[in-house]
Amino acid sequence: MKQIILAEDHKVIRNGVKMLLESTQQYQVLQEASNGQEVIDALNKGLIPDLIVSDIGMPVMDGITMLAELKQSYPQIPVLIMSMMESDANLYQTIKAGARGFLTKSVDAEELFFAINRLLIGERYVCSSLAIPIIDHVIQKELVPSFKMRSGDFSSREIEILQLIGQGLTNVEMADKLFISKRTVEGHRQSLIDKTGARNTAVLMRFAYANGIID
């Protein structure tokens, strides 16, 4: 049975998490704490758990300060943060301070147990509600060319083509509208992709909007 120290200043939440953990008969809450200082005190008295599950916002000593203390004195003990705060900033701050995992308090029991198991075998875990937007953001940064261009870097015809692409027109429709051949439209389209370094038309349009080339 894995032993856990549970730090949470709201007693109702703490009792609920404790009951949930111990209902599995796989975990024992070795010590309850209402702040980070009580966690440190318990460790200094020799109560060494397999895992610490902790909130961030607590009186006396908050979760971030506690993580800094643990990093210095008890780096071998993994810490899983459970917080009401769901911003990326809180996630980055706690991971940087030494937390091995981060969950929002809106997760279900299945994800809580999954996260605990990951940490107990030496891995890290971030709840899906935060991890997926972060991955999407990384992908977006990877796909959109990072350099800046202005509308002056494009010909008036290229800007016309961009605007019509943005309106959803096909190459044939653009050719008819601009009184040019379909091959000429295709040439402008390819030229725009080459000039911006975009991988495809979708990325080209994101680039154009991001740089204010078209509205």
Is 181 exposed, middle or buried, given 0-12, 13-18 or 19+ CB atoms closer than 10 A?
Answer: exposed
Whole-model pTM over 0.75: no
Contact between 62 and 36 (Cβ < 8 Å): yes
- Give 28-77 pLDDT, tens digit per residue: 999 999 999 999 999 999 999 999 999 999 999 999 999 999 999 999 99
In this structure, of 6-15, 104-113, 192-201, the range with the lowest mean pLDDT score is: 192-201
Q: Does 147 have pLDDT greater than 60? A: no
pLDDT reading at 174 higher than 80: yes
In the block, tokens 């030494």 appear at: 98
Helix (H) or strand (E) holding 31: strand 27-33
